[in-house]
Amino acid sequence: MSIQRINMPQLGESVTEGTVTTWLVQVGDYIEKYDAIAEVMTDKVNAEVPSTYSGTITELIAKEGETIEVGQLMCYIEDGAEDKKVAADQVNPPKELTNGTQDDDRMKKRYSPVVMRLAQENDIDLTSVSGTGKGGRITRKDIEKLLVNTNENEKMTSHKAKEEVTTIEPNQQAEVEIDEFTPPIIRRKPLKANPGDREIPVTGLRRTIAQNMVRSKTEIPHAWMMIEVDVTNLVAYRNAEKVQFKENEGYNLSYFAFFLNAVAKALKKFPELNSCWAGDKIIQRKEINLSIAVAHGHELYVPVIKQVDEKSIKGIAKEIHELSRKARTGNLTQNDMEGGTFTVNNTGSFGSVESMGVINYPQSAILQVESIVKRPVIINDMFAARDMVNLCLSLDHRVLDGVICGAFMSHVKSILENISSETTPIY
Amino acid sequence: MAVLSYIQAVTLALKEEMERDEKVFVLGEDVGKRGGVFRATDGLYDQFGEKRVIDTPLAESAIAGVGIGAAMYGMRPVAEMQFADFIMPAINQIISEAARIRYRSNNDWNCPITIRAPYGAGVHGGLYHSQSIEAIFANQPGLKIVMPSSPYDVKGLLKSAIRDEDPVLFLEHKKAYRLLKEEVPDTDYTIPIGKAEVKREGTDVTVVTYGLCVHFAKQAAEKLAQDGISVEIVDLRTVYPIDEETIIQSVSKTGKALLVTEDNKEGSIIGEVAAIISENCLFDLDAPVKRLAAPNIPASPFAPNLEKEFLINTDKVERALRELAEF
């Protein structure tokens, strides 16, 4: 059983509307297919409208005396058929527009005739104009806006010169996009597969990963450092708590939660690392939202744990567990992936002891937590077996320098080496 | 002022012209007692009698031929082709005789005939009741082709066509007949043939179109205005000869042109418009000139879903305009 629509039929060539003169059925009436349901008058004919279904009339929409367009709804009928779905509206779904990706600027240097002419007439250097058209194309309107702005600027500066003020209006500055070095696009011949090779089509997600990686590695000057941390205390503390925790909470008390906690604390002290390069300024983020890398199958997801500095070890462990589960089941939402300010990557989970992370654009640093391994360490001139871990940091050298990052890493180290139930309660 | 439908405006113009000038008469299939299959000549037979509202045999070459002869003799015939699709047998008469006579006779003779014909699809007419035929006639100097887009324009332009000293092909969109309604003055006004009209002023994109597609363009422009896209609509009104000046002026202003027709894309009226733009507006163009037209298949299909796919509609115009605005 399903509700169907009966629409005003086309009752003759050139007829676009009809007036319902009399309803021949009432709500609740059962009618057969092709039975007349209403008398309709057009300026060419008077006709009876046949039902297109067998079933029970559930609602009369058009009123007697009302004129409605061909194809518009007259009434609803509940038909006898079991298998039909609820009638969809007759309007075709709009076909999706194919939009170019936002970052794509392959049209930036394609100038239309009018843009060329206006640029020549007004002596505009087109390479310094940013375009709002498709693919970054400079449009006629961009040039016209620029001309209006320059005129206003000229007026303003000449005006201000009299008042001996030389600052530029900040509003107008904000409008202009920053011109920065962009790496050249290198076109290469397509690679050919040899017989027997397997060709794997690139998925949308893979392509996005590729684009982000290229962007990060070509735009951001990466620098790199590594420290080693003695986490013997952390291992002992965690081992003492983990069974009880699993029993109480139902998920693992992971080392990673402790590392995120330590990083968040250190970022609070060194907000310089919780920032991004914005061309003419550096933006320091107030919130500490940590992106964590989660691999699933052949895909890499980077969901975000928000405001880590406000969460307990348990809270962080719970979110790690939740986000991993969502990634595995393909349930991550856009909301889960947004807003990261710094990335912590659990490379130790697959046995790595040293790695150089690629910064998660547009953040300014990424920290890799490597495997915890037992190593002989000299303490007070004696050998001792200690649980050691390497922490590797990749940093955006435009934003950060070695000194500040060294201080940050030392702070992370001291937090981790002093972990105990006193300093870092789980709840 | 009364609100009239597109077809009522046709009837009113005929009636007023027949009252004004007794040389004006109507001939065609079923135009008399029946009042026309679309009711375009409704009431004229009763008012003016069988000598001025003449039912003809089903022979389009004769309808055109008789009309042309009468026109050359000094009468003002308004010949009706029941459907534009049926005009084919009359092509020889219209092109070789009516369109050529002034040139051929070195200005001794002329032929002030008006030939009315309903064209266009969207009424489930199938192959023989849906075609757009304007392009066939649109390179015949001596002939004029008028295709109005609204009831107001219908009345003013049909009067001008009847009063014109040379042959005019007056093409009425049959879907517009009962779809479009507006206030039409009962005064005796005319609209000049050969002049396009800017139906809506805008700054971002120009649409050049004619006939029923003007209606779709207006609706699309209305929607786009809500998103801050400002569309200018140029209604050609006369598709041959084309008013170059209005097109050039508008496209030079906006730099972007979408050309719309219900006709097949290749060889249509809008191809000529594109040529005018590229000859005159190169240094004002900000985007490639775009055409939105029916696919190159013989005529609108009969199946409703295919007919819908074939035809221009508001959504298609809106999509094309948006794409161009974003370019």
pLDDT, one tens digit per residue, over A173-194 is 445 566 666 666 666 677 888 8
The residue behind tokens 């290229």 is A214
Q: What is the pLDDT of residues B128-145, one digit of tens each?
A: 999 999 999 999 999 999
- pLDDT, mean of residues B230-251: 97
Supply the CATH number for residue A118's domain: 4.10.320.10
* Of B180, B175, B119, residue with least CA distance to B146: B119
Q: Total domain count for chain A?
A: 3
Domain match, A323 and A281 both: yes
Band of the pLDDT at A45, cuts 50, 70, 90?
low
- pLDDT of A331 reads 82
Residue A99 lies in a domain: no
> ∠ CA A338-A344-A348 to the nearest 5 degrees?
135
- pLDDT of A181 reads 60
Q: Total domain count for chain B?
A: 2
Q: Is the pLDDT of residue A15 over 80?
A: no
Contact criterion met (CB < 8 Å) for A13 and B39 = no
Distance CA B165, CA B46 (A): 28
- pLDDT, mean of residues A89-103: 47
The percent of residues in chain A predicted with pLDDT above 70, rounded, is 85
Domain match, B162 and B203 both: no
Domain residues for A30? 2-79
The percent of residues in chain B predicted with pLDDT above 70, rounded, is 100
Domain match, A261 and A134 both: no
- pLDDT, mean of residues A380-400: 93
- pLDDT, mean of residues B265-280: 96
- pLDDT of A91 reads 45
Domain match, A63 and A141 both: no
pTM for the whole structure: 0.56
Domain match, A74 and A117 both: no
Residue A155 lies in a domain: yes
Instruction: Name the burial class of residue B194, with classes exposed (0-12), middle (13-18) and buried (19+) by CB atoms within 10 angstroms of its CB.
Output: middle
- pLDDT of A178 reads 63
Rounded to a whole number, what is the distance in Å from the CA of A154 to chain B's nearest CA?
Answer: 26
Cβ pairs A/B, distance under 8 A: 62
Domain match, B174 and B258 both: no
Alpha-carbon dihedral sign for residues A126, A127, A130, A135 = positive
Distance CA B75, CA A56 (A): 62
- φ/ψ of A358, rounded to 5, equals -95, 130
Using an 8 Å CB-CB cutoff, list chain B residues near A140. 255, 286
- pLDDT, mean of residues B161-186: 96
Residue B91 lies in a domain: yes
Domain match, B180 and B204 both: no
Between B274 and A158, the more confident residue is B274
- Chain A interface test: which of B123, B175, B179, B286 (most A C-beta within 10 Å): B286
- pLDDT of B176 reads 96
Between A150 and A68, the more confident residue is A68
Supply the CATH number for residue A33's domain: 2.40.50.100
**B327 CB near a chain A CB, below 8 Å?**
yes
Domain match, B24 and B141 both: yes
The percent of residues in chain A predicted with pLDDT above 90, rounded, is 37
Between A98 and B58, the more confident residue is B58
Residue B192 lies in a domain: no
The residue behind tokens 């021949």 is A24
Whether the CB-CB separation of B144 and B167 falls below 8 Å is answered with yes
- pLDDT of A426 reads 85
- Chain B interface test: which of A7, A10, A14 (most B C-beta within 10 Å): A14
Domain match, A124 and A239 both: no
- pLDDT of A170 reads 43
Instruction: Record the tokens describing residue A356, joined without a space.
Output: 């150089």
- pLDDT, mean of residues B52-72: 97
Interface list for chain A against chain B, based on CB atoms closer than 8 Å: 10, 13-17, 43-44, 92, 94-95, 97, 112-117, 133-134, 137, 139-141
Q: Is the pLDDT of residue A90 over 60?
A: no
Mean pLDDT of chain B: 96
Active site (catalytic) residues of A: 397, 401
Provide the 10 A C-beta neighbour count for residue B145. 26
- pLDDT, mean of residues A43-55: 80
Domain match, B149 and B17 both: yes
pLDDT winner (highest mean) among A319-328, A331-340, B204-213: B204-213
- pLDDT of B134 reads 97
Domain residues for B298? 197-326
Domain match, B169 and B205 both: no
Mean pLDDT of chain A: 83
| Residue that terminates a domain, selected from A79, A94, A124 | A79
Rounded to a whole number, what is the distance in Å from the CA of B204 to chain A's nearest CA?
Answer: 8
Band of the pLDDT at A44, cuts 50, 70, 90?
low
B window 143-162, beta carbon within 8 A of A: none
When CB atoms are compared, the residue of B39, B129, B175 closest to A16 is B175
Distance CA B59, CA A68 (A): 38
Rounded to a whole number, what is the distance in Å from the CA of A6 to chain B's nearest CA?
Answer: 16
Band of the pLDDT at A166, cuts 50, 70, 90?
very low
Domain match, B179 and B201 both: no
Domain match, B163 and B204 both: no
- pLDDT of A257 reads 93
Domain match, B180 and B208 both: no
Distance CA A20, CA A42 (A): 9
Contact criterion met (CB < 8 Å) for B326 and A141 = no
Domain match, A246 and A357 both: yes
One-letter amino acid identity for A46? N
Chain B residue with the nearest C-alpha to that of A98:
B323
Distance CA A222, CA A210 (A): 17
One-letter amino acid identity for B187? T
**B35 CB near a chain A CB, below 8 Å?**
no
Q: What is the pLDDT of residues B66-101, one digit of tens each?
A: 999 999 999 999 999 999 999 999 999 999 999 999
Catalytic residue among B124, B129, B173, B215: B129
Residue B240 lies in a domain: yes
Is the bond preceding residue A425 a cis peptide, omega within 30 degrees?
no
Task: Quote the longest CA-to-CA distance of chain A.
Answer: 109
When CB atoms are compared, the residue of B129, B178, B322 closest to A16 is B178
Q: Is the pLDDT of residue A205 over 80?
A: no
Provide the 10 A C-beta neighbour count for residue A393. 23
Residue B191 lies in a domain: no
Supply the CATH number for residue B264's domain: 3.40.50.920
Across B86-97, b (16+ Cβ under 10 Å) vs e yields: bbeebbebbbeb
Distance CA A146, CA A129 (A): 8
